[in-house]
Amino acid sequence: MIHREINAIYARGYNQPAVGSESWHREYSTLPAFSQVERIWVVLNETEDNLSFVTSIAADKLVRKRCRISTEGVQRVTKAKMLWEKEHTYPILSEEFHRWYDEQFETIQHFQAFPTPSEVYKLKKLGVQKPERRFYPQIDWRW
């Protein structure tokens, strides 16, 4: 699940199933995309205001328990997942292996448990827009 549809378009461009939304609504729980999954990955771009999005997910206890969240950026995480799957293709193995496999990816991409509504400081930290990091090369003016 990704904040905003434009980010979901980026994710689908990397061949990843993604749903973009401005906020979570309890009715979504009945949709097959959410009702039939064990884990929901929520990926945020830190350069966007995500506060209403993360607080809406935190308010729904049933979905929050299945969510893991990362602020590594939509393009980075979805591209990494596409490459990860390409490099780690295995024949159909046990559910236990698939769980371990996903946990490894979650660790690499810094996914964490979704904060509860009472963890306001964590939600604000996730939701507050941070300035875009820009790379300015060092220029050596000495000739």
CA 4 to chain CA centroid, nearest Å? 12
Q: Write the pLDDT tens digit of every residue in 84-113.
A: 888 876 666 677 877 888 899 999 999 999
Highest mean pLDDT among 34-38, 49-53, 127-131: 49-53
Q: Write the pLDDT tens digit of every residue in 47-77.
A: 899 999 999 999 999 999 999 999 999 999 9
Specify the DSSP class assigned to residue 43: E
Rounded to 5°, angle at Cα 68 from 71 and 48 = 30
Gap between the Cα atoms of 100 and 4, Å rounded:
29
Residue ranges per domain, the chain? Answer: 2-127
